Amino acid sequence: MTPNKRSLSLAAALLAGSALVAVPRAGATVSIAATFDEKVEHAAAIVQGRVVKQEARFDEERKFILTYTTFEVEKTLKGGTPNLVTIVTPGGRVGDVQMTTIGVPQFREGSENVVFLKNTKRGPTVLYFDQGAYDVVTERGEKMVRPVATDAVKIDDQRGIAVAPEQPRTLREFETAVGAAERRVRHNRMEMLEKQRQAQEVTSIWTTLDENKWLVFIALLGVALASVKFLRRS
């Protein structure tokens, strides 16, 4: 490696929320696969736009290179965003110094993408990194959305097996899928809140009984005595 060029795998701590894990094989990266519903649920916003500007520069301590990519937003699929959104991703090139990362999407000026955004202290970034970025291309007059190319391997942490990449779909189908996922997320959240409410009610009842057990005992004793007197009179 020459002094004027270095290649580093940036730590996941550079941008909070990374799911990247390095493995022994050189250049290999494994990430926990996120479902489409999880991505929709946890995204602060989902935008479709075109890259109009890109700039890489060192961070404040000059330890890492960060790339700032500005998108002109054509459509917002979730959340509210301005017409221009600048996202930050680890890695990039400043002069003759280059830092590369595996599992982080690479954008270029003029490209069109769908991006799931996550807010960090450094600014918006891509949620789940390359899992939260899609290329938008035109095929036979129709816009198609497909996952960005990546060297990272996605693993299902429940089954411990590699997950196949998402299939391309039309932009309209993608929008419909986002809307359906949002509805499922809301429904699941409401079900969870209802279960929590019911559990709290049961806990509250038992807590009340426990705190007033002597009053409950006296009341039950009174009912028992009244029942005995009634039976004797019958």
Is the distance from CB of 105 to CB of 14 less than 8 angstroms?
Answer: no
Q: Per residue in 41-51, pLDDT tens?
A: 999 999 999 99
204 located within any domain: yes
- What local confidence, expressed as pLDDT, does residue 197 receive? 75
- What local confidence, expressed as pLDDT, does residue 51 receive? 98
Same domain, 147 and 202: no
Domain range for 130:
12-170
Same domain, 41 and 106: yes
End-to-end CA distance of the chain: 103
177 located within any domain: no
Same domain, 166 and 199: no
Compute and round to an integer the Cα radius of gyration of the chain: 27
Write b or e for each residue in 64-75: b if 16 or more Cβ atoms lie within 10 A of its Cβ, otherwise e.
bbbbbbbbebee
- What local confidence, expressed as pLDDT, does residue 10 receive? 43
CATH number at residue 97: 2.40.50
Could you tell me whether strands 65-78 and 45-58 are parallel, antiparallel, or unpaired per DSSP bridges? Answer: antiparallel
176 located within any domain: no
Same domain, 223 and 134: no
Same domain, 165 and 192: no
180 located within any domain: no
- Tokens 């497909």 locate to 146
Same domain, 161 and 194: no
Same domain, 47 and 86: yes
Same domain, 166 and 215: no
- What local confidence, expressed as pLDDT, does residue 18 receive? 43
Structural domain total, the chain: 2
178 located within any domain: no
54 contacts: CB under 8 Å, gap ≥ 6: 67, 68, 69, 70, 107, 108, 109
Query: Residues in the chain, how many?
Result: 234
7 located within any domain: no
Same domain, 58 and 91: yes
Q: Where are the alpha helices (DSSP H) in the chain?
A: 36-42, 171-211, 213-233
Same domain, 41 and 120: yes
CA distances from 182 to 39, 40, 78, 80, 115 (A): 10, 7, 9, 15, 16
Same domain, 52 and 164: yes
5 located within any domain: no
Give every residue of the chain whose pLDDT is below 70, as ranges: 1-28, 202, 205, 209, 216-217, 219-234
